[in-house]
Amino acid sequence: MIKTVKDILVLCTGNSCRSQMAEGYLRHFAGKKATIYSAGIETHGVNPLAIKVMAEDGIDISNHKSNNVNEYMDIDFDLILTVCNNAEENCPYFPSKALRFHYNFPDPAKATGTEEEILNEFRRTRDLIKVYCEKFLKIHITSNGKTFENFQQ
């Protein structure tokens, strides 16, 4: 039996900003073609500024929870996407045939400056993640098997 809905896991360090934004966009763009999960190698809670900037773009992540990757060890993921170098380097082994992908997005939680400068950093990261997620799904969900090898941000 061919699996028609893909299970996708997005991993980050704390599952508070980047992976939450990616989960929001992947759910939005994938619709019913994929089940999206996000987790961290730690849990830090969903960052209120991530919620705010996603809402500005019409994506509601206010009900998302910060999950630890160990909660998902029993799921046979098709695709695993790490969105920061720390998660890629420390990602636990998943006993599956999941294809793994990585893109190191800037961490907006580390931004400094005025409130507006920090918000702008969250927006910049959000926009990078949005473009990436849309392209990622076009390749892996709607392109009938094209590979990720030629995919560039």
Task: Determine which one of 84, 109, 129, 133 is catalytic.
Answer: 84
Catalytic residue among 12, 36, 49, 98, which? 12
**12 classed as catalytic:** yes
* Three-state secondary structure string covering the chain: CCCCCEEEEEEECCCCCHHHHHHHHHHHHHHHHEEEEEEECCCCCCCHHHHHHHHHCCCCCCCCCCCEHHHHCCCCCCEEEECCHHHHHHCCCCCCCCEEEECCCCCHHHCCCCHHHHHHHHHHHHHHHHHHHHHHHHHHCCCCCCCCCCCCC
Instruction: Using the Cα atoms of residue 17, residue 129, residue 29 and residue 58 in order, give the sign of their dihedral.
Output: positive
Question: Which residue out of 91, 99, 111, 139 is catalytically annotated?
Answer: 91
**Residues with catalytic roles:** 12, 84, 91
